[in-house]
């Protein structure tokens, strides 16, 4: 048996000014062939699980590409074409296709990157089984459902079950291909509901209840049930939440149809639980200052309006400047992406006192924001290559690179400034530069969720800080031109879904 295994991951924020050329995938472009295999073998991606399953089955592996890029603007057309062409051509002669996809990829030449790829594969290889693993934030389309045999998404956010989702999807396909199970069929329902990312966590609220229901259906015999929150920061027709269920054979398909109907009804009844209501930034910072008076641990502040894992520029300074004006001190803040500032600090050297223009370097036309760097005086405390090994729970063991990085001490705050946009996956984002975040009074991170399993245990409290960035929870900042109307919560919606 010959099995194609490939990875193509990008969550597209169509409002982001950050470009996505081919070089944005990986350290300097995707990996191919043996390098794609090596990048994922022994890791925690869905592609890692596909490799393990296929090797256990004695298959010959074909690994044409592994392409992952941080969320950003639309993927360049030539980059998308090259990745997809490599997958389609390599699939010739294969008996199964296992694809580690995201589900919310939009490109310069298509709103439905994954659906178009799956359609090409199905047209070229009509009888070859296809399984896809998707991110929990995938914007599922009819093309995806029509052209895949199995779809399974992550069930956690922060995403700590990428491997498990891949193992689940691959196992269901191999049950059919190798072990005589009935052919899988997909049932799905897309709701007319746009969710806030901060309300898609699997750890609380309406999303947690929906995922728990999906797990109960699986425990009672449905092969696979996925709840995909969708990704709202995409100006496409349906950036919506959806439910996908895998049925086994015709009877299983009818059961799967009932499952998606029940789950859709549950989600729609709880729709207000998927809408995030932010408090004013001044109130958030006042609460933080009050909490800090009575605890001996840091207060964790999350600048979620500029999160690179949703397409942020990673350089807005609103929350930091408001915190300084509110009188917060003892701050460790990061990660601020400003390669020019890092270069100046590296040239000046550790110990140098500088006046630097930092942050606000990237204009954000989609929300009418011009570049307006902030001038700060401080001392260079460290300059490093910016690499560290992630200890988990996400991408455990993977070497991460922030690019050349530096610490700039402005007195009330120590700023970690990087050359690349980077999510604070790990304490290594600070410790690799000689900082111990446990010693801070306030830890200010540009993050939504991924930092929480690592940084929350260090802190006495967590406060979400709203700011006008490209990943803001304030949908009124964004001008949608292509989305379907009506969609809740933008407009009142009678029934929660369209009839197929």
Tens digit of each residue's pLDDT, the chain (500 residues) = 999 999 999 999 999 999 999 999 998 899 999 999 999 999 999 999 999 999 999 999 999 999 999 999 999 999 999 999 999 999 999 999 999 999 999 999 999 999 999 999 999 999 999 999 999 999 999 999 999 999 999 999 999 999 999 999 999 999 999 999 999 999 999 999 999 999 999 999 999 999 999 999 999 999 999 999 999 999 999 999 999 999 999 999 999 999 999 999 999 999 999 999 999 999 999 999 999 999 999 999 999 999 999 999 999 999 999 999 999 999 999 999 999 999 999 999 999 999 999 999 999 999 999 999 999 999 999 999 999 999 878 888 888 899 999 999 999 999 999 999 999 999 999 999 999 999 999 999 999 999 999 999 999 999 999 999 999 999 999 999 999 999 999 999 988 988 64
**Pairwise CA distance, residues 156 & 355, whole Å:** 43
Give me the residue label for tokens 């000014």.
Answer: 17
270 and 418 belong to one structural domain: no
CB 274 within 8 A of CB 241: yes
Q: Which of 305, 367, 295, 334 is nearest to 435 (CA)?
A: 334
| 351 in the same domain as 251 | no
User: Residue holding tokens 């009935």?
Assistant: 182
The first and second tokens of residue 118, run together, are 């799956």
Domain presence at residue 500? no
Same domain, 267 and 325: no
Question: What DSSP assignment string belongs to 253-316?
Answer: HHHHHHHHHHHHHHHHHTGGGG---PPPHHHHHHHHHHHHTT-SSPEEEEEGGG-GGGT--S--
| Among 223, 247, 274, residue at a domain's last position | 274
Distant-in-sequence, close-in-space partners of 413: CB < 8 Å, separation ≥ 6: 320, 323, 324, 329, 331, 332, 333, 444
DSSP 75: B
The residue among 290, 192, 291, 280 whose CA lies nearest residue 241 is 192
For residues 337 and 360, membership in a common domain is answered with: yes
Please give the DSSP secondary-structure letter assigned to residue 73: S
From residue 431, alpha-carbon distances to 139, 388, 457 in Å are 36, 9, 16
Are 290 and 266 within one domain?
no
Q: Say what the pTM is.
A: 0.95
Tell whether 290 is covered by a domain.
Answer: yes
pLDDT recorded at residue 28: 87
Are 385 and 324 members of one domain?
yes
Question: What sign does the dihedral 392-398-399-402 (CA atoms) show?
Answer: negative
For residues 68 and 496, give the distance between their C-alpha atoms in angstroms, rounded to a whole number. Answer: 33
Number of domains in the chain: 2
SS3 84: helix
In a domain, 495, yes or no: no
Looking at residue 499, its pLDDT comes to: 62
Any domain includes 54: yes
DSSP summary character for residue 425: -
Could you report how far apart the first and last alpha carbons of the chain are, in Å?
37
Q: Are 224 and 331 part of one and the same domain?
A: no
Which residue in 101, 22, 32, 41 sits closest to 64, CA to CA?
32
Q: 5 - beta bridge partners?
A: 98
Cβ(500)–Cβ(338) under 8 Å? no
Tell how far CA 340 is from the center of its chain: 27
- Burial of 204: CB neighbours in 10 Å, binned 0-12, 13-18, 19+: exposed
Residues 248 and 300 in one domain: no
Q: Are strands 2-9 and 65-68 parallel, antiparallel or unpaired?
A: parallel
Q: Please give the Cα distance from 415 to 394 (Å, whole number).
A: 24
Q: Does residue 308 belong to any structural domain of this protein? A: yes
CA 260 to chain centre: 24
Residue carrying the six token digits 């991924």: 450
Strand partners, 190: 242
**Model pLDDT, residue 392:** 77
Longest dimension (CA), the chain: 72
Q: Is 480 within the bounds of a domain?
A: no
Size of the chain in residues = 500
Cα-trace Rg, the chain: 23
Is the torsion defined by CA of 393, 395, 397, 402 positive or negative?
Answer: negative
Residues 269 and 286 in one domain: no
Residue 310 lies in a domain: yes
Same domain (yes/no): 253, 339: no
Q: Is 476 exposed, middle or buried (0-12, 13-18, 19+ CB in 10 A)?
A: exposed
Query: For position 27, what pLDDT does the model report?
Result: 84
Looking at the domain assignment, is residue 388 inside a domain? yes
- Confidence (pLDDT) at 239: 98
Domain boundary among 231, 255, 274: 274
Q: CA–CA distance from 283 to each of 43, 278, 323, 467 (Å)?
A: 42, 10, 11, 12
**257 and 296 in one domain?**
no
Confidence (pLDDT) at 68: 97
What pLDDT does 500 receive? Answer: 47
Of 274, 299, 334, the residue that ends a domain is: 274
Residue 65 is predicted with a pLDDT of 98
Q: Are residues 23 and 102 in the same domain?
A: yes
Q: 432 is in which domain, residue-wise?
A: 281-472
């Amino acid at each position: 048996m010959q099995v194609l295994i490939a990875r193509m991951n990008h969550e597209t924020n169509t409002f982001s000014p950050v470009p996505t050329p081919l070089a944005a995938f990986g350290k300097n472009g995707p990996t191919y062939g043996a390098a794609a295999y090596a990048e994922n073998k022994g890791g925690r991606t869905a592609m890692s699980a596909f490799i393990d399953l296929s090797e256990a089955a004695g298959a010959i592996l074909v690994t044409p590409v592994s392409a992952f890029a941080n969320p950003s603007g639309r993927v360049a057309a030539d980059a998308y074409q090259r990745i997809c062409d490599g997958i389609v051509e390599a699939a010739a002669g294969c008996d199964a296709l296992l694809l580690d996809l995201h589900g919310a990829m939009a490109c310069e030449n298509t709103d439905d990157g994954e659906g178009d790829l799956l359609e090409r594969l199905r047209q070229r290889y009509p009888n070859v089984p296809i399984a896809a693993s998707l991110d929990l934030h995938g914007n599922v389309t009819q093309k995806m459902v029509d052209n895949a045999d199995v779809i399974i998404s992550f069930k956690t956010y922060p995403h700590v079950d990428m491997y498990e989702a891949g193992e689940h999807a691959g196992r269901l396909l191999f049950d059919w291909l190798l072990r005589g199970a009935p052919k899988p069929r997909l049932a799905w329902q897309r709701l007319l509901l746009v969710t806030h990312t901060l309300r898609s966590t699997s750890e609380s609220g309406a999303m947690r209840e929906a995922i728990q229901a999906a797990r109960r259906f699986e425990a009672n015999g449905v092969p696979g049930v996925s709840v995909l929150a969708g990704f709202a920061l995409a100006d496409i027709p349906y950036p919506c939440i959806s439910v996908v269920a895998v049925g086994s054979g015709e009877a299983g398909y009818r059961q799967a149809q009932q499952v998606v109907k029940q789950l859709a009804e549950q989600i729609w009844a709880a729709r207000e639980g998927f809408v995030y209501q932010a408090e004013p930034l001044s109130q958030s910072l006042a609460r933080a200052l009050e909490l800090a008076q009575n605890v001996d641990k840091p207060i964790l502040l999350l600048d979620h309006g500029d999160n690179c894992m949703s397409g942020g520029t990673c350089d807005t300074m609103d929350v930091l400047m408001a915190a300084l004006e509110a009188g917060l001190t003892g701050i460790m803040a990061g990660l601020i992406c400003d390669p020019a500032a890092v270069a100046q600090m590296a040239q000046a050297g550790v110990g140098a006192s500088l006046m630097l223009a930092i942050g606000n370097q990237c204009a954000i036309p989609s929300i009418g924001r011009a570049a307006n760097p902030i001038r700060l005086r401080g001392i260079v405390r460290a300059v490093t290559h910016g690499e560290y090994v992630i200890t988990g729970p996400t991408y455990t063991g993977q070497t991460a690179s922030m690019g050349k990085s530096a610490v700039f001490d402005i007195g009330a705050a120590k700023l970690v400034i990087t050359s690349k946009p980077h999510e604070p996956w790990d304490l290594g984002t600070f410790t690799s530069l000689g900082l111990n975040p446990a010693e801070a009074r306030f830890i200010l991170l540009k993050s939504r969720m991924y930092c929480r399993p690592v940084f929350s245990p260090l802190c006495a409290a967590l406060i979400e800080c709203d700011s006008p960035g490209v990943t803001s929870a304030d949908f009124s900042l964004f001008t949608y031109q292509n989305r379907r109307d009506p969609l809740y919560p933008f407009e009142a919606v009678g029934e929660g879904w369209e009839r197929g």
